[in-house]
Chains A and B, each alone.
Chain A
Amino acid sequence: MTYTNRPLVHACLLSALAYIATTWISMRLLAGAMVDAPIAMRVVVGLLPVIPIGLAIRAFVQLMRAGDELQRRIDVEALAIAALAIGLGALTASLLIVAGAFDTTAQKALVWVFPALVLTYLFARILACRRYG
């Protein structure tokens, strides 16, 4: 099962790439050149990745609305699987952090929740597509 609306697929992919780029730039700046910058500036730079995420979500919603009923069913199944899997994964990770099994902080772990959700959704979508041939 593939989406036939290529412009929207491209918009989703471009937004995902922009998210990776802005996240990398934001983290580099906050850890380097902007360590001593005013908090307002740090907040603005820190929130930069939210813009491409917003654009990606808008393109994704348009893509879902443009799909037919089977494509929507596949998307709903994939989203449900991804949400439950990431929810369980986040709970497990937080319990392990509390138990001291990981040498990391919840703040660092939270950054990965959205990318993990997207990747799990894509994987679940491939599985759902196979199910419907």
Chain B
Amino acid sequence: MNNRMRELRGDRGWSQAELAERLGVSRQTVNAIETGKYDPSLPLAFTIGRLFGLSIESIFAPEA
């Protein structure tokens, strides 16, 4: 699954560790999501969307 996590995080000037703290997960989890190695659960995806003020669909998209 493709996502805009890195871009959105960069726009806010957050480090991976800062984002991880805000989401309540480890920095490694943020890194794994950003690099597309791990797809988050639905609850975590909702938390990510809420944090960035965006819908899940505007952050995550299925690979073409």
Could you tell me which A residues sit within 8 Å of B by CB distance?
Answer: 1-2, 4, 67-71, 73, 129, 131-133
Contacts and interface: CB of A to CB of B under 8 A. Distances in A.
A92 to B, nearest CB: 33
Can you list the 4 inter-chain pairs with the closest CB atoms, starting with the nearest?
A68-B25, A70-B29, A132-B32, A1-B28
Contacts of B15: none
Contacts of B2: none
Interface string B19-47: 00000111011011001011011001000
A2 B17 CA distance: 14
Chain B contact residues, majority secondary structure:
loop
Given A69-B40, A69-B44, A70-B38, A133 B32 contact: yes
B26 A70 contact: yes
A132 B38 CA distance: 7
15 contacts: A1-B28, A4-B26, A67-B26, A68-B24, A68-B25, A68-B29, A69-B25, A69-B44, A70-B25, A70-B26, A70-B29, A71-B29, A132-B28, A132-B32, A132-B37
Interface residues of B, number: 13
B49 to A, nearest CB: 16
Contacts of A131: 37
Given A68-B25, A69-B41, A133-B31, 4 more contacts: A1-B26, A1-B28, A129-B28, A132-B28
